[in-house]
Structure 1
Amino acid sequence: MKVAELSGQLQTPRRCTNQSIQTQRESQVTDFPGHVDQVFQQLNYQRLRGQLCDCVIVVGNRHFKAHRAVLAACSTHFRALFSVAESNGGMNVIQLDSEVVTAEALSVLVDMMYTSTLMLEESNVMDVLLAASHLHLNSVVKACKHYMSTRTLHLSLPGKRYMHCSDQHAAGTASSSRLQHPFLQQYKVLPIKVKEEA
């Protein structure tokens, strides 16, 4: 009788339901909406103080310390440069042509990469546009084009580093090679009113 009772108990084991298994496996997912902003604030804090930076971008006589991961995440041009540098022994110093990327434009672009804020002015928009195109920052290129299309820009003719190329005669007489840059010539159809400074 005891054997029969025991065998009966063995034949009806306790079953774990799907619900109990799911309860045991459930995990809590917590979202921290401000986390990314805090991380980038700290990275920018480090950059401005030269802390934990692992690369230097050189433009003319200006040196910009930064984090390779941040620059490479924002710019495919920097990603390619750093990838080549790593394969050649990890060189952390990148020299940019100051005729294509000015120090002032790079400063604006690096600030944007860390803060997501782009500071455009009439005095810098052409340099920022050219630099952003060279560095493959497409969203910045669009922002520059939008800025230029919604304003009457007072850009100086020959004698300044940049100008609008819609005036082909002025472009032909310009002395600076930057004025003849093919990238700038793409934008001669933009609806921008250019006024000469008195």
Structure 2
Amino acid sequence: MSFRKVGAALDAGPMRLYGYVSTKEELLELMVDAVYGEMPLSEVKGEWRQALRALAHGMRRMSMKHPWFPELLGSRPHIGPNALAHLEATLAAFSETLGFENIDDVMLAVTTVKAYVMGAIQSEVTELRIERETGMDKERWQSANGAYILRMIATGRYPTLGKVVEKATHPSPDVRFDMGLDYVLDGIAARHLR
């Protein structure tokens, strides 16, 4: 991302952008906030699990739509009005939940889910980028490398990997995302809702 590319996309010169933003970081923050604005706040409601699940799915949806988005999520907290509204709605979902009276516990639960989401979507977005750049989707990659993997498993040095190749169901990205999210949410519930 550069001022020149953004200017070209807006059919304006890069110098014209400096009349609106003074740094690249400011531009990136505005872009992130615009994406948060595309995620309906009405989804981030209800009890804490429902709110965190909605936030996770919204972030994943936006990351598939805007592949640059996950790269910007790991930086400092976003302070645009849309990002702050989402954070407020997420934190507020804990306000009536026994076991989450300590705001530090609430923050840790939210950041734990966000860390899972960022890792999961970064992997998905990277896979999509590699497919676009190489023209090789996951199935073609597996076909090209399958014989090698089978030879390596046959050495006997990778018995657990052999189980993965032979017995794992390899669910779709949607199912994998939901299952991983359930693991995280169940862990948070086990720790705080005893």
Q: Greater RCO between the two (CA within 8 Å, min separation 6)?
A: 2
Is TM > 0.5 for Structure 1 vs Structure 2? no
Quick check: which one's strand share is greater?
1
Q: Which has the larger radius of gyration?
A: 1
Q: TM-score range by the shorter chain?
A: under 0.3
Quick check: which one's helix share is greater?
2
